[in-house]
A and B are shown apart, each in its own frame.
Chain A
Amino acid sequence: AQSVTQLDSHVSVSEGTPVLLRCNYSSSYSPSLFWYVQHPNKGLQLLLKYTSAATLVKGINGFEAEFKKSETSFHLTKPSAHMSDAAEYFCVVTSGYSTLTFGKGTMLLVSP
Chain B
Amino acid sequence: EAGVAQSPRYKIIEKRQSVAFWCNPISGHATLYWYQQILGQGPKLLIQFQNNGVVDDSQLPKDRFSAERLKGVDSTLKIQPAKLEDSAVYLCASSFGASVSYEQYFGPGTRLTVT
B54 to chain A, nearest CB (A): 13
The one of B100, B106, B107 in contact with A96, judged by C-beta atoms closer than 8 angstroms, is B100
With A32-B100, A105-B42 already in contact, 13 other A-B pairs whose C-beta atoms are closer than 8 Å: A41-B108, A43-B108, A43-B109, A45-B106, A46-B103, A49-B103, A90-B42, A90-B43, A96-B99, A99-B48, A100-B100, A104-B42, A105-B41
Per the bound structure, the CA–CA distance linking A44 and B95 in Å amounts to 13
Per the bound structure, the CA–CA distance linking A44 and B108 in Å amounts to 8
Taking CB atoms, residues of chain A closer than 8 Å to B43 are 44, 90, 100, 102
Q: List 8 A-B contacts (CB under 8 A).
A: A43-B105, A43-B107, A46-B104, A97-B98, A97-B99, A97-B100, A99-B48, A100-B45
Which positions in B face A, CB cutoff 8 Å? 3-4, 40-45, 48, 56, 91, 93, 98-101, 103-109
Per the bound structure, the CA–CA distance linking A32 and B103 in Å amounts to 12
A87 to chain B, nearest CB (A): 14
Which positions in A face B, CB cutoff 8 Å? 32, 36, 41-46, 49, 51, 90, 92, 94-97, 99-100, 102-105
The one of A43, A44, A100, A104 in contact with B40, judged by C-beta atoms closer than 8 angstroms, is A104
Taking CB atoms, residues of chain B closer than 8 Å to A36 are 106
B97 to chain A, nearest CB (A): 10
A108 to chain B, nearest CB (A): 15
Contact A42 to B108, CB < 8 A, known contacts A97-B100, A99-B56, A102-B43: yes
Per the bound structure, the CA–CA distance linking A42 and B109 in Å amounts to 8
